[in-house]
Amino acid sequence: MSDEDEGHGGHVLDDPLRTKGTSFTHDERRELGLLGLLPYAVTTLDEQVARSWGEVRRQATDLDRYIYLRALQDRNERLFYAVLAADVSTALPLVYTPTVAEGCRRFSEIWRRPRGLYLSWPDRDHLREALRNRRQREVDVIVVTDGQRILGIGDQGVGGMGIPVGKLSLYTLIGGIDPARTLPVLLDTGTDNPTLLDDPFYLGWRHHRIGEDDYVAFVEAFVAAVQDELPDVLLQWEDFATPHAHPILERYRDRLLTFNDDIQGTAAVALGALRGATEVAGVPLRDQQVVMLGAGSAGVGVMEMVRQAMVDQGLSADEARARCWIVDVRGLLTTDRDDLSDAQRAFAHDSADVAGWGVDGLPALADVVEHVEVGVLVGLSTAQGAFTETIVRTMAGRVERPIIFPLSNPTDNAEARPADLDDWTDGRALIATGSPFPPLHRDDGEDVPVAQCNNVYIFPAVGLAVTAARATRVTDAMMRAAAGALGAASPALSDPHAPLLPPWADVRRVADDIALAVAKQAVADGVAPAASDDDLRDSVRRTRWEPTYGPG
């Protein structure tokens, strides 16, 4: 080995995308200059996975497990994903909801190594320079947040970076996107969280959030930099506050390949679960009265996709809208309110329609359930316990199989616990949640898993689809195709007692089916090059990255 080559093996060991750790063979160690840098034994990937899961289980808390797994990702990406793939159902809540919420809260405290890009307002004149400093040269997927509305825990400032990092981990684990071609981004425009502003260890820009005009200009500068540097990338917006989420999506959806997971991904997974639920209930979606508690970007997004699905089933736009009811913290959305956004106003009911209810002021959720034969009740409000026993029993007294989805995250924010819903409806409720909950226990000793409406069913498959199909846009029809393919995989379609969504053990296989459906729709919508179904299927298969060790 020449002097200039001396020590080059250490670079391989320190590169998380190339290292194999103790799995390097003796020949590879000599060839790569690793002789003496590793213990003598050569281990297999399976042995490394088993050892890593032993370490995971030895951690005292889920946050400790989260920290360990993130450190493993920083050290050896292929091993990290092999560990997750070995037990998806156990790994998901550790690397994403609900544990990621605590990871975001304590981001500055548990900081280890940089990952992704932090684009801060004080550096606004140097965004292209910062983007060019990325470690990944070719990028297929960017997930970006500004940290203002993280899950159900609010403004986390720079701590919001835990969300893009976690989401992209799932793009790789479930959707097979090469981790070397992903990029998490945090737009640091300050924080209005007083705890963070007073925290001496806070790692973000210690300043209140910038004004609206400056914010819009900053986002525009970011998008322009992305278009210049990475024109073909899929850009996913994540956990933006309601006043920003819809306007950003509408502003850019026709300019680049982009979507908002909170609006469109949440809607698609909820609609997918509804397909199985309405089939079991024996009442098609077009004939259901659907109530949403929560008028944020996610809640409105779900209702818009529900409305579109009703139209697909034969209703007019007005007939579909009349069956959609949205309630926020003030009460029912009605046309006489002056505090609604354009997206919310599209679902406002005429105040005359509810004048005969005898309610002083705006009707609350209980009033809507009392006066409307509600078949579907969905929560995206972060209001813990909002689906009370009285409300649920009233609903269950009107319909045979009430469909109830308390979807707020994290677990403590859920509108109801599945066990209570099951009890209050005498086991008749069809339930899906946003966070993981234990199975329902039946008198005969059977445990029935609770379906989790986790967006992981949707967004990784969308990423795989647009990458494989070389799509240039994400259309509403593509998201509905994702929902349809997910709904077609519902175990409840063949067994009414089964969960509404596939088990986590099947989620990677289901992602391939969803990706194919989305890719076909992209071609049909004219936003991807013409290709046969067989060509698209082959492209999906070739695009999928697997966490294995190759030679060298």
167 is catalytic: yes
CA distance 229 to 237: 18
- Tokens standing for residue 314: 């034969």
Peptide bond into 98 cis (omega under 30): yes
Neighbours of 427 (CB within 10 A): 13
Is residue 503 a contact partner of residue 428, using CB atoms and an 8 Å limit? no
SS3 316: coil
Q: Which residues contact 280 (CB under 8 A, 6 or more apart)?
A: 401, 430, 492, 496, 500
CA distance 68 to 90: 14
81-84, Cβ contacts within 8 angstroms, sequence gap of 24 or more: 81/169, 81/172, 81/173, 81/179, 81/547, 82/45, 82/48, 82/49, 82/547, 82/548, 83/49, 83/52, 83/53, 83/56, 84/169, 84/173
CA distance 66 to 82: 16
Peptide bond into 503 cis (omega under 30): no
Q: How many helices (H) and strands (E) does the chain have?
A: 24, 13
Neighbours of 196 (CB within 10 A): 23
Task: Give the end-to-end CA distance of the chain in Å, rounded to a whole number.
Answer: 18
66 is catalytic: no
Neighbours of 58 (CB within 10 A): 10
Q: Which residues contact 62 (CB under 8 A, 6 or more apart)?
A: 93, 94, 99, 102
- Tokens standing for residue 424: 């209050």
Q: Which of 66, 81, 96, 202 is catalytic?
A: 96
Q: What single letter denotes the amino acid at residue 385?
A: G
CA distance 332 to 180: 46
> Which stretches within 183-290 are classed as H helix?
194-197, 212-229, 242-252, 266-281
Q: What single letter denotes the amino acid at residue 225?
A: A
CA distance 287 to 314: 10
Q: Which residues contact 278 (CB under 8 A, 6 or more apart)?
A: 284, 285, 288, 376, 403
- Tokens standing for residue 171: 């793009």
SS3 19: coil
Q: Which of 66, 167, 202, 549 is catalytic?
A: 167
For the chain, the helix, strand and coil percentages under 3-state DSSP, each to the nearest 5: 50, 10, 40
What is the set of active-site residues? 96, 167
